[in-house]
Every structure is written in C-alpha cells, then in structure tokens.
Amino acid sequence: ARTGADRLAAAQDAARAWADERAVGMQVEFVTVPARSVARALVKVAEEADATALVLGSSADGPHGHVVVGSTADHLLHSSRVPVAVAPRGYRASAVPGAGPLDVPVHRLTAAYGGSSGGHEAVRWAAALTREIDVRLRVASFGVRTPTMYPPEIGFDVEAEVSAQWREQMLDAQRALRLGDDVELVAPVGTSWPDAFERIDWEPNELLIVGSSSAGALRAVFLGSRATKLVRHSPVPTLVVPRGTQPLP
C-alpha cells in the first residue's frame, strides 16, 4: 500500500510536470504544511507568504462551465483573509497564438455591485486593479425576477416596468460611484441567475470581482446569499475580495 509520503511525492511530481509545461518563466515553490484540514493549511501558507490571492479549481462533482464549490472552497469563501479566486469546472484560459504559456490576455474585469457598502469596496478595489494592469472595468448589477415576485394577474407590462425601475435605480447607484466615463455600467435582469449572466457579453479571460458580505468579520471573506449565487453561477473565474482589502500597490 502507498504511504502518505508516497502520495505526497506523487502529487508533487505531478505538480512539477504541470509547472514545467504550463508555468515556464514563473517562479514555482512547493510547500508542505501539516494541518488538520486542507483549508486551514492554505490559509496558513497564504497569510505567511502575504499572498495576493488563493486560487482554487472547482470541485469535480458538478456541471462543466460553472463554479462548483467543494468543501475546501466553501470553507475558504467564508473565512479566508486574502482574496479567493475560483474557476468554473473545466475552465481553460484563452492564450495568444504563438505566445508563451504566461501570456494570457485580459482586457476587462467585471465588478459585481449590489448597492451595499461591501459592494462599494469591491468595486473600488477592482477599479484600482484595472489601473495597475491597464485593463477596462465594467460594473454589473445582476437582478433576478422569479415567478413568486410577480403573480400572473399583474400582467407582463407591470413586471417589465418594475424590472426597468430596478435597472435604472442600480445604474443610478453605479453612476454615483463616480468611477469615470470610461467605465461600462450594466444591470441585466433575468428569469434566473444563469439567465441574468447570459444577458451580457463576456470576453475571453474576463474575471468577475465579488465583494464580501458586510455581515462578516473585517478583512475576512464572508459570502452572503446573493454573493454565493453570483459565485456559483458565474460563467467566468470569480475573485472574492474580503472587506477592508487594500488595493494592490
């Protein structure tokens, strides 16, 4: 039978083989940390290394194309003190033909905004990041109209009017952030979360920025119900930013 040391060596060999092929030119360090759980070990390493973010893949149990939150990711999305990035299951970044493995173009970041103070922080953090890496910023407020919100007797016209009013209110709130004329503002409304996401375009390698709930501890990730839905239904990699996170220098 294989020992724990054998499994660790095999895992590190597989990681090195991946790094040799996909991370050419990047400094890669392998660290072994004893801990009671994977999540605790990741948090410990990230905090000791003053990491910019923890990056996770989706769980293997779930549909392709969407973020599938496993037990480790779920723990980190409710406790990490550094930003947590999660990619949809089966996600592959689009590289430039003929370029190196690290030359992955990102042209735009989308910051989710729901109108809360925590949302303000995440949007401003994303705005600062886009200035540092010279990419465009889009602010998006996602709305979902469910059958229980609009009884059949009120009619489609009233439903459309309420959705239009919500959209204008969110766009007004986005404009009040005064992020600049070059920032795109959108407020899609769908019949479900996937439908709301599909009502706007997504560029190759785009990243969705989501803020923590104001109910959580300062400088720790804590997802409220709305943020959880955004993460789970996002068609692109999602970066969750703890409250109080300072912009990158």
- Mean pLDDT of all residues in 158-181: 88
- Mean pLDDT of all residues in 149-177: 76
Query: Tell me: the pLDDT tens digits for 85-115?
Result: 998 888 888 776 665 555 667 889 999 998 7
Q: For the chain, what percent of residues have pLDDT higher than 70?
A: 82
- Mean pLDDT of all residues in 211-233: 69
- pLDDT (0 to 100) of residue 153: 54
- pLDDT (0 to 100) of residue 82: 84
Q: What is the C-alpha to C-alpha distance for residues 144 and 39, in angstroms, rounded to an integer? A: 32
Which comes out higher in pLDDT, residue 149 or 72?
72
Q: What is the C-alpha to C-alpha distance for residues 57 and 64, in angstroms, rounded to an integer? A: 12
- pLDDT (0 to 100) of residue 96: 65
Q: Which two tokens stand for residue 210?
A: 């989501």
Q: Which domains can be identified in the chain, with CATH numbers?
A: 52-95+105-241 (3.40.50.12370)
Chain-centroid distance of CA 121 in Å reads 15
Q: State yes or no: pLDDT of 26 exceeds 60.
A: yes
- List, as one string, the DSSP characters of 3-33: -HHHHHHHHHHHHHHHHHHH-TTS-------
- pLDDT (0 to 100) of residue 100: 58
- pLDDT (0 to 100) of residue 218: 45
Query: What are the b/e assignments for 177-197, b being 16+ CB within 10 Å?
Result: bebeeebebbbbbbeebbebb
Which comes out higher in pLDDT, residue 143 or 58?
143
- Mean pLDDT of all residues in 221-240: 83
- Mean pLDDT of all residues in 191-218: 83
* pLDDT band (50, 70, 90) for residue 151: low
CA 208 vs CA 6, 9, 67: distances in Å: 38, 35, 12
